[in-house]
Structure 1
């Protein structure tokens, strides 16, 4: 990344594993960058680049990052709070909603509520509410409460998992409103014990 003169951070599943959430085996090295790049392979390793637009410069600061030791030196890795928000934003690349829930269960207690709320200002309201709901669902009330002010800013309800569609319009599927988070829970959340 140095020769491209491009800032970056290791994120999502790889960052979650770095912080202790090892339920999700990362088959790919996920790197968050401020511009679009193609994925590629080096030997047996696959690198996937995830584009983050305007918010990248505000959240990719040393106070929100850690360091991952590699053979070539140190790499920037998302801190716990940034990992949770990135996984909530890009949950489809972090094992789906259940993969996100597992990461929240594993890392939620280690999250600094003040840092989490500050970082959440730079993320879409729906993903912040999704994370808040899962933090509360997994028993991390202090961290969830830090995200409650974002519910008041919501203009409409969002689906917990927007990708889930019922097979038929006759079969309604799961649709449980969660007004406390401005969400409609349309998928059952399951995690490993």
Structure 2
């Protein structure tokens, strides 16, 4: 379907490297079956990736080599699509604040509900569950920062909240409690 390829090019030209299935159906005016086949063809050509059902990432040539764009570029639109609150945290937040000596291998996000991890190409997105009442208490606007990306701004834990999260979720932050064996 040439119309889907053109729709994807138009989205990229407007700076949006993602789209939702319902938006594409409305814009293209095609049947759901036709759109599904076109989406599968684009995914087979490594031009599309889907972290969640109904949400698609348009892969630029530089992203095709690693299988997906950096999650910082699409976490905010994904979470808005899913209608979930979130906070980029732990090692990725520490790297954002300049406290990491290397880029984390996992993009960690704290959410107030259970969610499955996403693995796309070389990128891994891990959702860390936090009790909704605790999430509401600590994720206040004055304790959050903004991570600028091409898709807008993502919510990232502030310095103090990052330290608290790393202490609270030390098992997820890559800190080992085992003593080295002699």
Q: Secondary structure at the match of 2:126?
A: strand
Per the alignment, residue 135 of structure 2 pairs with 56
Per the alignment, residue 122 of structure 1 pairs with none
- From 69, 72, 80, the counterpart of 1:2: 80
Q: Distance in 1 between matches of 2:101 and 2:170?
A: 15
- From 134, 144, 150, the counterpart of 1:71: 150
Q: CA deviation at 1:25?
A: 3.2
Alignment check: 8 A CA contact 1:24 1:95 kept = no
Q: Distance in 1 between matches of 2:80 and 2:146?
A: 16
The runs of at least 4 aligned residues of structure 1 exceeding 2 Å deviation read 41-44
- From 33, 39, 43, the counterpart of 2:111: 33
Q: Secondary structure at the match of 1:32?
A: strand
Q: Give 5+ residue unaligned stretches, structure 1.
A: 98-160, 165-186, 189-193
TM-score normalized by the length of structure 1: 0.49
**Which of 1 and 2 has greater Rg?**
2
Aligned length: 101
Q: Give 5+ residue unaligned stretches, structure 2.
A: 1-78
Once the two structures are superposed, the pairs formed by residues 84-163 of structure 1 within 5 Å of their partners are: 84-97=163-176, 161=177
Asked whether 1:17 is paired with 2:103, we answer no
Structure 1 vs Structure 2 CA RMSD: 1.6
